[in-house]
Chain A
Amino acid sequence: MRDEAAFVEFAEAARGRLRRTAYLLCGDWEQASDHVQEGLIRVYVAWPRLTRAGREHGYARRAVVSAFLDHSRRRSSTEVPSEPDRNVPSGQDVAESVALRAALMSALADLPLRQRACVVLRYFDDLSVADTAAVLGCSEGTVKSQTSRALASLRSTFEGSPIGGLAIEGATPW
């Protein structure tokens, strides 16, 4: 039996975080919502066996990342980040904040898809190398090498720019 009430409760609780991950991957909030929707549909399909195994959260993240990767493979291409969100928090220098956001999203968009996914999963979702490998369906060695390359690219993008350099706390990719 498919417990839809439990699924809805889970989806309500998880959608915000999933959407943030999806946004960092694709650079567009609307597209992020599409990826979350697709990911949650996949979760719904697998729901009975996920809840038996208690794996719904991990599966949902993987489903959203897969939806993003599938979409990107199918539709091409490198997503161009949308205009940076102007709705910035108060108390900050707006121009600087917008520039930083735009710089980060642009640098992420320049990364190959899987490198981008490694960065987002490792440094936004705080997944371990092993968990990242499980989400992406690749080896831990691949995650390490992809992350390492991604961080090098990000650092070089920020290096010497007026908005400052980039530090990555605990930046060893393993």
Chain B
Amino acid sequence: MVNDLRELLRHNVASPPHDNLDLGAVLAGGRSRVRRRRRRLAALSGTALATAAIVVTGSLASLDARPPDFAAAGVPRPDAPMLRLADAVAAAEGTDYRVLTSYTNEDLDRDNGQYFEGVTDDGLILFRDGPRMDQSRPRFALMDPASGEKDWLPDHDIGQAQTWPLELGEDRLMLLAAEGGMKVELVVHVFDRERRQWGAMKWPSLPAVEDPFGAVLGPDQRLYVPVPATQGRPPKTGWPMGPDGEADDADAAGDTYRLWSASLTDISDVRNEGLTVGSVAFTDHSMVWTDSTNGDSGRVHVRDLETGEEHSFDPRSGEKCNLLSFGATDDRIVMGQYCGTYDGGVRDDRVQVLGTDGDQVVTLQASGIDGALTSDAGDGLVTVTSYESDGAGTYVYDLDSGRFLRITEDVSSWTTSGPTQEGQFLWNTPENMGRGMTQHLGELID
């Protein structure tokens, strides 16, 4: 007997089971992605911990080689002291910063690789390997940046889940993961470093969420989880077409969330905080949040965690700015924004730095950047990735000194991020015609 391949293929799919595909979810996902596309660069940091293998979908070759003329394009100036990429000083290795260690993945197109996930409080790198073609789930090591030596942690069956570091302490490592499909339940995997044992925590009474992004660890050792409340809708007539031919969703209505929290010691201790928020960040002494996110941010609120006193202010972001990334230190609030596309396809991307009373510290304005607070240790560092062909590369802004350094002139298609120690930062550079990347851990030299 002989079987025909074409016939077999068709026969095998002749009677598919019922399709549960929800086109409403497709539309919601598409709308959200359109908005994120505006911030696709910001997604690298806004969801910086999401993956070390987000592929940037744009083509750098298509970018104009000249720096954009913001005034000619009609881009409004921020209502704040302003920085341009050209204001950055080309950093010299050994003088402005030192490289603590590097690691190269030669070909991430061929297979998944190994990634720096962050730095522990005692200075070791959490190193993730996989999952790869011949290794179905990831394994983790603590890597000494000085020697490159890796201490592989015991195997822990987390399936193929993506993880995001919540805390990389001397005593324990806490990795956030999500289980489920369109709605996910949060899981925290905890590694006791002294006992060298893994455990996991789930909270049955914690509402499911759409994704794990936005969940943060508070200084009270509770996990704060934004649970979707309202989603900003596009205008009834649809988004207007921008000069680049794409729908321009600048000045979008933001999304809001109900804030819940969960104890990390008692899984029955889950509570609705009774607060509607957009983005949330914590410092050791304060909780900072916006009215909404992924659109207009609304006001910024600051609560003193010791006294309970609160104040709020208008951040005076641009009229069309969508909030894409959010972070805070005790003195500074950092907001990454997309604020529209103007003539000639010039984007108005911003990283706005504010004092905790709303004073305007500085706003970096450029076309084709993403930026976010990437280290909140000490005074904090802002890392900016630019895809402007004239100014492409990784930049670091030191919130303490105001130093603005251009670290590289290369942009990788992947991202590397995670919590670091004070003054440290992670970045990467392309390898092998963009198929791979080298990740670096560096620190500023005072």
Contacts and interface: CB of A to CB of B under 8 A. Distances in A.
A147 B8 CA distance: 17
Nearest to B29: A41
Contacts of A8: 23, 27
Given A76-B112, A100-B8, A15 B21 contact: yes
B71 interface: no
Contacts of B27: 4, 7-8, 44
Contacts, number: 157
Interface string B238-252: 111100011100000
B1 A168 contact: no
A51 to B, nearest CB: 12
Interface stretch (B12-20, B73-81, B281-289): B12-20
B15 A88 contact: yes
A28 to B, nearest CB: 11
B133 A41 contact: no
B245 A24 contact: no
Contacts of A11: 23, 26
B2 interface: yes
Interface string A78-122: 100000010111000000010011001100000000000001100
Interface string A3-43: 11001100110011001100110000110011011001111
A105 B9 CA distance: 9
Interface string B285-326: 000000000000000000000000000000000000000000
Contacts of A129: none
Chain B contact-residue range equals: 35 or more
Interface string A34-75: 101100111111011100100000000000000000000111
Chain B interface mostly: loop
Chain A contact-residue range equals: 35 or more
B131 A104 contact: no
B111 to A, nearest CB: 7
Given A33-B19, A48-B245, A77-B131, A1 B9 contact: no
Given A76-B132, A76-B135, A33 B5 contact: no
Contacts of B199: none
Contacts of A87: 15, 17
A48 B27 CA distance: 14
Nearest to B162: A74
A154 interface: yes
A167 B2 contact: yes
B3 A124 contact: no
A158 B4 CA distance: 11
B235 to A, nearest CB: 10
A165 B26 contact: no
Nearest to A49: B245
Nearest to A17: B13
B37 interface: yes
B3 A166 contact: yes
Given A73-B111, A85-B15, A167-B4, A45 B239 contact: no
Contacts of B22: 37
B30 A123 contact: no
B195 interface: no
A37 B19 CA distance: 11
A77 B136 CA distance: 6
Nearest to B247: A2
Contact of A23 (B8, B16, B21): B16
B263 interface: no
B180 to A, nearest CB: 12
B405 to A, nearest CB: 32
